Structure 1
Amino acid sequence: MHKALIAALAALLTVPATGMLMSSTAFAAPLCDKLGFAGLLAKCNRGEPIELTLASGKPLGAGEVKLQSGAYYELKITADGSAELAISGPEFFRAIWMNEIVINGIEVRPMAIDSLEFDKAGLATLSFIAIKPGSYEVRIPNTASDSQKIKIAIQ
């Protein structure tokens, strides 16, 4: 029975002219093969940290950020205290699994967030696993400049 099911599935996925299997959408895998006990949070599955700066009149970040679905990342947001500023990106925050947010050594494990606001200088570190492929935007609310937003693509 299993052999017949596998043969039928292979026949459905075969391109008639070439006899080769059709390729489906790109498969996004974690960054390493040996995840071990920690699973997706394993050290070998961690991407480069993403650093953003909240400062009055200064760019939020540099260029577009590309993330791998299934990989673990840290987003470090530093506010210099020059103005009361927030960062917003509800679509992006819904496309990730949030592990924790660390603010002044206090760990918060939220289900979801829409934004973070800094009333004075400080650092917030968000650790997460990128999940849903797509293009997203994280920005300082109520701003129009391209330097006040950053594009994040999850592949």
Structure 2
Amino acid sequence: MNPFLALVFALGLGVPAAAAPLCDDLGFAGLLAKCNRGETLKLTLASGKPLGDDAILQSGAYYKLEITADGSAELAVEGPGFFRAIWMNEIVINKIEIRPMAIESIEFDKAGTAELSFIAIKPGTHVLRIPGTSGDSQQVRFTIQ
């Protein structure tokens, strides 16, 4: 037995807690399995409008993030901490699939939608924000548990 677990049991502390998977059998697709998908997250880039709602994500779960710009201004969303806390599967823009190693921001010069699919990895609270802003409505907090 692992010495750490032996000590935990000897002290009567029980078993360390672990997050439950979203599904029991991930099957051939692994973490990308349909049963492992959380709800689609949506952000809206619009001049003077709130960016979106904060969300709680489960580490190891697959998510889609839809970022839609209404074209009212040239706007971006940045969040290097968030983008380093996830494994990016792909970004889809105008039916073109991009599989990046890493990104720090996405900028929209005109109206459009970008769909990011990813697996949440690193626990903690991570922020996506409109660059150069400090208001609470201009940022979204994603808490990965």
TM-score, L = length of structure 1:
0.88
Give the one of 19, 22, 39 matched to 1:28: 19
Contact 2:77 2:131 in 1 (8 A): yes
1:54 equivalent in structure 2: 45
Query: Between Structure 1 and Structure 2, how many residues are aligned?
Result: 145
Instruction: Please identify the structure whose Cα radius of gyration is greater.
Output: 1
Contact 2:9 2:15 in 1 (8 A): no
Contact 1:29 1:70 in 2 (8 A): no
Gaps of 5+ in 2: none
Identity %: 69
1:67 equivalent in structure 2: 57
Give the one of 8, 17, 31 matched to 1:13: 8
1:132 equivalent in structure 2: 122
The one-letter amino acid of 2:89's match is: N
Residue 145 of structure 1: how far off its partner (Å): 1.2
What whole-Å deviation, never above 9, does each CA across 1:82-121 have from its counterpart, x for those lacking one?
0000000000000000000000000000011000000000
TM-score, L = length of structure 2:
0.94
Q: 3-state DSSP class of the match of 2:28?
A: helix
- Do the aligned partners of residues 8 and 140 (structure 1) sit closer, same or farther apart at CA in structure 2, a change above 3 Å counting? closer
- Do the aligned partners of residues 40 and 143 (structure 1) sit closer, same or farther apart at CA in structure 2, a change above 3 Å counting? same
Q: 3-state DSSP class of the match of 1:12?
A: helix
Give the one of 81, 96, 101 matched to 2:86: 96
